Amino acid sequence: MNTNRHNSFNQIHKGLRAQLYDTALKIQQTDMSQVEAAAPVIEQIEEVLFLFESHAHGEDHYFNEPLEKTNPEVASLFEKEHVEDHRLADVLSSLIASYKEAATTDARAEKGKHLFYAFNEFIAFNLYHMNKEEIELNAALWDRYTDSEIKSIEQTLVQSIPPQKMMKYAKWMIRGINNKELIHWLEEVRAFAPAPVFEMLIVIAETELPTDRYQLIARALKYEVKAA
């Protein structure tokens, strides 16, 4: 992998992986036979499906479809993987529906186990898939575009995401990236996006990060940390 080139997927994929890992651990720690304990986990799995689905659409529309003419093999490889990804998401959606219909403790435990295994399949597929995009799809994009062209496609993609949904992605990206990446991202947002966007991300960072880490980020940005 050419680390000098712009990896358009790095940050969003780290966010999505953080969401997968966190959700997987929560499923493992939850007694799925209990409706109240399971409810927030089910909701989190639904959020995973929501964010992965629209992420795949964005990649298809902005990256794979434009590659169809110049690099049809790579474009169709990743479009097909998104079809498989969608199938795995459908399996999860129907397992969630049957979990919600389960009326006894035993039935919920049983459905919960199916859901856990299906979620693991979803993770396994997506971990391979995202690696492959960062290696093979990036190679095709780097071949065809300059870094500034890739950044401008990325910008168009990001701007197409409604603010409410963007905040959900942002939460996981903030949780999933390292300090250097977070500082760089926030600097770019502060320089190029409307001020409220930066303020909103700062609030999410303050909420999501441990205090010492948040303070380190705020100091690096010369952003005034409010006294506790």
As measured in angstroms, the least distance from the Cβ of 45 to Fe ion is 19
d(CA 139, CA 58): 18
As measured in angstroms, the least distance from the Cβ of 24 to Fe ion is 19
Residue that the structure tokens 């979620």 belong to: 119
Nearer to Fe ion, 89 or 209 (CB): 89
Nearer to Fe ion, 55 or 108 (CB): 55
As measured in angstroms, the least distance from the Cβ of 121 to Fe ion is 16
As measured in angstroms, the least distance from the Cβ of 129 to Fe ion is 6
Q: Under rule CB under 5 A, how many of the chain's residues touch Fe ion? A: 1
As measured in angstroms, the least distance from the Cβ of 204 to Fe ion is 24
Q: Is the dihedral of CA 57, 60, 62, 65 positive or negative?
A: negative
Nearer to Fe ion, 108 or 129 (CB): 129
Per-residue tokens: 143:
């071949």
Q: Find out whether 60 and 139 touch, Cβ atoms under 8 Å.
A: no
As measured in angstroms, the least distance from the Cβ of 61 to Fe ion is 12
As measured in angstroms, the least distance from the Cβ of 107 to Fe ion is 34
Show the site string, 49-78: x = touches Fe ion by CB under 5 A, - = not: ----------x-------------------
Site membership for Fe ion, residue 154 (CB under 5 A): no
Nearer to Fe ion, 59 or 154 (CB): 59
Nearer to Fe ion, 61 or 213 (CB): 61
Per-residue tokens: 15:
């966010």
Nearer to Fe ion, 34 or 131 (CB): 131
82: how many CB neighbours lie within 10 A of its CB?
A: 18
Nearer to Fe ion, 24 or 77 (CB): 77
Interface residue list for Fe ion (CB under 5 A)? 59
